[in-house]
A = this chain, B = another copy of it.
């Protein structure tokens, strides 16, 4: 079974295309977890416990752990181990470098942390992605058309008869020999997301940008149809509530997102 098949099967089984972003902010942790030995892990665990049957995929963004220093890395490792085998865990790292260095980053993601998949930046071309793809059972989501406003600075520029992001999508199609290459495309620009799907019909799409960033989940789901996809919400789920019922609030937000996608 390829990574793409595994992702599609888990979405079918869980009847959901929801990816829960696990991006903890120390100053927004609910009071209920602040007394724990490892408050960041306790928060993540509570969110996972409340959403596991609704979410085939979790996605910690490494930046939020890296900014906490060593305790952050420890919380992240515990989080990955906690979810392992019960959902797909994507390390949102956006790493990318020349071959030998990319190999070190791939080892960090897939061996040190044990992520099922990771996000990578392909600005440096095939070299920067190949060492990740060499882990044939892991997913590699290449940053393609991002959800932020300044994505257009480079990604929308025309190169020949394509945009830069379409060129990245075309390259990713050629890199998909093991069925483990996917693309990141934001929900905030559904027309561009549709172009990504058109260029890369069968590739898994990881779609951030709903919730705090304002993307429309239904429009994104329609644009992404035709291949496996998950739509990721971080702040919209994790910070749906900050009282003692924060986990139930997160569950309600995840349920709403699942249903919005299903209705589309």
Contact = CB atoms under 8 A, between A and B. Distances in A.
- Label chain A's interface by main secondary structure: helix
A150 B121 contact: no
A123 B143 contact: yes
A104 B159 contact: no
Interface string A144-185: 001111111111011110001001100100000000000000
Given A154-B122, A164-B154, A171-B153, A66 B112 contact: yes
Given A143-B123, A159-B164, A160-B157, A112 B150 contact: no
Specify how many copies of this chain sit in the oligomer. Answer: 2
B146 A98 contact: yes
Q: Which of A23, A96, A97, A122 has the most chain B CB within a 10 Å cutoff?
A: A97
Contact of A66 (B69, B104, B148, B155): B104
A112 B159 contact: no
A70 B97 CA distance: 21
A108 interface: yes
Given A159-B159, A159-B164, A108 B67 contact: yes
Interface in A111-126: 111-112, 121-126
A196 to B, nearest CB: 15
A143 B124 contact: yes
B99 A148 contact: yes
A70 B70 contact: yes
Contact of A167 (B105, B125, B154, B171): B154
Interface residues of A, number: 54
A231 to B, nearest CB: 16
B63 A108 contact: yes
A150 B124 contact: yes
B154 A123 contact: yes
28 contacts: A61-B97, A61-B101, A61-B104, A63-B97, A63-B101, A66-B112, A69-B73, A69-B112, A73-B73, A121-B121, A122-B123, A122-B154, A123-B123, A123-B146, A123-B154, A124-B143, A124-B146, A124-B148, A124-B150, A125-B148, A125-B153, A125-B154, A127-B148, A128-B148, A154-B167, A157-B160, A158-B159, A158-B160
